[in-house]
Structure 1
Amino acid sequence: MAAAALPASRRDDYEELYDTFRWAVPAHFNLAEACCGRWARDPATADRIAVYTEHEDGRRDAFSFAHLQAEANRLSAALRALGVQRGDRVAIVMPQRIETAIAYMAVSQLGAIATPLSMLFGPEALAYRISHSESVVAIADETSIDNVLAARPECPTLATVIAAGDARGRGDHDWDVLLAAQLPAFTAEQTKADEAAVLIYTSGTTGPPKGALIPHRALIGNLPGFVCSQNWYPHGDDVFWSPADWAWTGGLWDALMPALYFGKPIVGYQGRFSAERAFELLERYGVTNTFLFPTALKQMMKACPEPRQRYTLKLRALMSAGEAVGETVFTWCRDAMGVVVNEMFGQTEINYIVGNCTAQHDDACLGWPARPGSMGRPYPGHRVQVIDDEGRPCAPGEGGEIAVCATDIHGHGDPVFFLGYWKNEAATAARYVERDGLRWCRTGDLARIDADGYLWYQGRADDVFKSSGYRIGPSEIENCLLKHPAVSNCAVVPSPDTERGAVVKAFIVLTPSVARSFDSDAALVTALQEHVRGQLAPYEYPKKIEFIDQLPMTTTGKVQRRVLRLLEQERAGGKR
């Protein structure tokens, strides 16, 4: 049904693994069937735990594959009764809870397209995405219902809001009542592997966020990287947990879906991340596999330098992505946590393409050794190069842009690729370059490759940056700031930060009518921060604001963000 098995042999098996790997992509493939249906139908696995849930208030539960499938069947039937058809978009605006997993399964087997949206999004961010995707239904819980309802007047296609959890009574239908009216049986649509399954919005540097349309087959494309980065997942007792939001690529494609695909349990925690709670979850559920952002690892390292003296840990694999881990954290994970970090690189559009695999057996590496600071090597099935501005491969040691070929080394299509940007053919076309009869997708990320094929990240080719693992585009924040009457013009750039990698910094030109004084500046900074907080996600508000008389501009009137980025780097002593 999916990718061929990856064998294990000598100390560094990379060349053999990469050269011998073959894709096995069926004509028809469905996420819900692959991740739940087949396990629920088999008496041997139906009662196996699929999802553990825990709320920060202490509530805990566990749900089997049989339960997940039965509830997904009820929801699929309910959505169909509401008029949802194959190909329609359904917005899912919930955190890590059982209803979120059920919703993904229900939408997928209905042949509709899930539009995951973060519960952190404010009304403006939600309104754009729901309206642009033309979602016909939104499913929200108590964490997001207020913002969904506030956004609704700007969403003409949104016919129905389903209220889940403690949001009951505040939507058009309550989740519990809606599902109770349906039987736990549903005949799933037979979807093609190339059909769209998920529409994920990703920030960009120019214009509004773009919706990346992801096919069902993309899960298959993720599997080699997932298996490798999790040190030959699955093993018999594997339990997965990651704080990554299931509304994002990292949480959905790097945690929830692959764990369920392999019939293994995943822990869903609904609450704020803290280092102490992370260690408690790892111990309580006997977590063996995890995905933790470098920011989370830094917090955990500072909070508990010697975790195995306080907690009983069963970790055997740890993947990290979003930014470089760094040698200090890498060493701490290896020595204090007892596990080597497998760094990984991917994007929403083409995920899980480069990384490491450091499984150990009798002092032998069953994959390839990780090098601190390196993103790793291209995973089996993915052809990756570092190219120059003309699209030519760079020599080892030379910096260039990471590009991924649409076909593997055997000439077979790489299933990890997205279908394109929703209603934006020009942006889709701009991602690709043709060379020697091959189609390459330019990632916009810069790196250098060494003589052994390891990639070393060097930053973004455009203005998108990452803060605490979140990918942030300045355009949406700038547009929000410009709606404030005090703002005449603005530019958003990353400001180096030792804890988060970078924080959002806004350079703002005030309207002439705004009086300038020390006291009013402080009050205005707070007002502008709260303005963005109320409209976008909390991680997008500018933690730093600087008022300036004018922005650096090109002769054609474009803001030179690069000048401001370099200024911030110089102020930080040249450290990123």
Structure 2
Amino acid sequence: HVVVASAADILSPSGPGNPAPLEGKTVLTFREILDNYPVKLPERIVKPGDTCLIQYTGGTTGLPKGVELTHNGFATNLLQFGQWNGFEPENETILSGFPFFHVAGLLFGLIGMCLGGRQVLIPDPRNTSHICDEIARYKPTIMANVPTFYQMLLQNPMFVELDFSRIKCCISGAAPFPVDSIKALEQIVGKGRVTEGLGLTETGVIIIANPQENPKKLGTIGIPFQSTYVKLVDLNTGTNEVPIGQEGEIIVRGPQLFKCYHNKPEETAHALRNFQGEKWLYTGDVAKMDKDGYFTIVDRTKDMINVSGYKVFSREVEDTLHEHPAIECCAIVAMPDPDRPGSELVKAVIQLLDSYRDKDRAELEQQILEYFKANMSPYKRPRIIEFVDQLPLTSVGKVDKKVLR
């Protein structure tokens, strides 16, 4: 069914009161609903495991999927966040650039409403001057954004002059945040106030984060949330745990897990699998864990590059490339190797700093290739370099590698 608030809301050749037909749909005006349906509320008992909402994935690695999140799962994540971050009702002000159609934007909106905090609404996360004005006006205690959001703010001179005395944490997620950029941000907002974490649509958002009270580790996404179990399994079969320090796929089990993909039973079965007698979510994120239990993201399984049988993690190459003085942003993607069927080449797509944009590109490319030789194993080095004025971003602000491929 399609319900319209007013017949005039739909363009109709028959005039008001006769909404235009839609093929395969029954079109009802809101007036018809009021006139023809009973006023008594339907009897409905909502259980914790029932579907609360269907949230669609970002679609950066494939077609978006409808994720059925339960009442229990989403409520659990709200409480986990509040406890983890020492949320003080009535005293917190949240500023987030995540749009509300993204699961992180939904979470932070509900945190404000359900836990008793204010939220500063950001209509355009790319308008950094407006954001600086809002920070100055409302003095947020919690900021939550993707790394590119913070990197754009760092380039605005207004940002450096702001008062961040009320800031408790600047949460970063959804994409890798270079350590040098974290250090630059902490020089402004305060040491130890930048918090990286990991969340997925399928987990009602957050599963891992750097703790607020215990020591943070720059470059890591932290440790598992309360009541959340995380393991790393081998990349080939997904059936064996890997030792400390070795890369593996993150699998997770906890009360915040999703119910299923809407009308996609095969994809649900692929994501939710049995491991050691329990159902776990296979996230597709590759990480390694240190001896203290802190996780570091290495790559997405779909972003790994196969160079003649060797696995190249795009995150590792990007982190090395970010240290070059000419580079503002970059992305590493795979390209087919025409000389070796089944193998791939490493390609670097680079956005230069403004101060380097007028330099000779051929000379810059040669300098970057020499930089790779000095800092990277031969099979990891990009064989193709492309300079762009602006890396393509998704609506959330993540680099859109699907476009680059």
**TM-score higher than 0.5 here?**
yes
**Where does residue 257 of structure 1 map in the other structure?**
110
**Where does residue 381 of structure 1 map in the other structure?**
227
Q: Which runs of 4+ in 1 moved over 4 A?
A: 135-139, 152-155, 185-190, 203-207, 310-313, 496-501, 550-555, 564-569
Structure 1 vs Structure 2: percent identity of aligned residues?
A: 23
Q: Which amino acid aligns with 1:275?
A: T
SS in 1 for 2:268: helix
Q: Which amino acid aligns with 1:332?
A: A
Report if the CA contact (8 A) 1:228-1:356 is conserved: no
Q: What is the CA deviation profile of residues 462-486 of structure 1, one whole-angstrom value per residue up to 9, with x for unaligned ones?
A: 2599xxxxxxxxxxxxxxxxxxxxx
CA gap 1:240/1:210 in 2 versus in 1, 3 angstroms: same
SS in 1 for 2:279: strand
Alignment of 1:115-194 (within 5 A): 136=2, 156-157=24-25, 159=27, 190-194=45-49
What is the distance in 1 between the residues matched to 2:91 and 2:60? Answer: 43
Q: Say yes or no: does 1:274 pair with 2:122.
A: no
Q: Which amino acid aligns with 1:284?
A: R
Q: Which amino acid aligns with 2:49?
A: D
What is the distance in 2 between the residues matched to 1:157 and 1:221? Answer: 37
What is the distance in 1 between the residues matched to 2:339 and 2:134? Answer: 49
Q: Say yes or no: does 1:242 pair with 2:55.
A: no
Alignment of 1:24-423 (within 5 A): 136=2, 156-157=24-25, 159=27, 190-203=45-58, 208-223=63-78, 225-227=80-82, 231-234=85-88, 236-253=90-107, 255-304=108-157, 307=160, 309-311=161-163, 314-338=166-190, 340-350=193-203, 351-358=205-212, 366=213, 368-388=214-234, 389-390=236-237, 391-405=239-253, 414-423=254-263
Please state how far the C-alpha of 1:311 moved relative to its aligned partner. 4.5
SS in 1 for 2:344: helix
Q: What is the CA deviation profile of residues 302-328 of structure 1, one whole-angstrom value per residue up to 9, with x for unaligned ones?
A: 213862x34465222221101222222
Q: Which amino acid aligns with 1:352?
A: I
* Aligned alpha-carbon RMSD (Å): 4.0
SS in 1 for 2:219: coil
What is the distance in 1 between the residues matched to 2:21 and 2:215? Answer: 53
SS in 2 for 1:270: coil
Q: Which amino acid aligns with 2:344?
A: V
In structure 2, stretches of 5+ residues that fail to align are: 12-19, 35-39, 306-317, 350-381, 387-398, 400-405
CA gap 1:238/1:436 in 2 versus in 1, 3 angstroms: same
What is the distance in 1 between the residues matched to 2:344 and 2:23? Answer: 38
Please state how far the C-alpha of 1:349 moved relative to its aligned partner. 0.4
Report if the CA contact (8 A) 1:298-1:499 is conserved: no
Residues paired across the two proteins, number = 315
Bigger relative contact order, structure 1 or 2 (CA pairs below 8 A, ≥6 apart): 1
Please state how far the C-alpha of 1:157 moved relative to its aligned partner. 4.2
Q: Which amino acid aligns with 1:243?
A: G
CA gap 1:420/1:153 in 2 versus in 1, 3 angstroms: farther
In structure 1, stretches of 5+ residues that fail to align are: 1-134, 140-144, 147-151, 161-171, 180-184, 359-365, 406-413, 466-493, 508-549
CA gap 1:425/1:207 in 2 versus in 1, 3 angstroms: same
Q: Which amino acid aligns with 1:262?
A: L
User: TM-score, structure 2 length as denominator?
Assistant: 0.66
Q: What is the CA deviation profile of residues 144-200 of structure 1, one whole-angstrom value per residue up to 9, with x for unaligned ones?
A: x99xxxxx998744746xxxxxxxxxxx679xxx99xxxxx9899542111112112
Report if the CA contact (8 A) 2:227-2:255 is conserved: no
Report if the CA contact (8 A) 2:90-2:116 is conserved: no
**Where does residue 66 of structure 1 map in the other structure?**
none
Q: What is the CA deviation profile of residues 68-98 of structure 1, one whole-angstrom value per residue up to 9, with x for unaligned ones?
A: xxxxxxxxxxxxxxxxxxxxxxxxxxxxxxx
Q: What is the CA deviation profile of residues 224-254 of structure 1, one whole-angstrom value per residue up to 9, with x for unaligned ones?
A: 552356x31125421112110011011002x
CA gap 1:282/1:306 in 2 versus in 1, 3 angstroms: closer
SS in 2 for 1:322: coil
Q: What is the CA deviation profile of residues 384-423 of structure 1, one whole-angstrom value per residue up to 9, with x for unaligned ones?
A: 0111133211111100100002xxxxxxxx3211110111
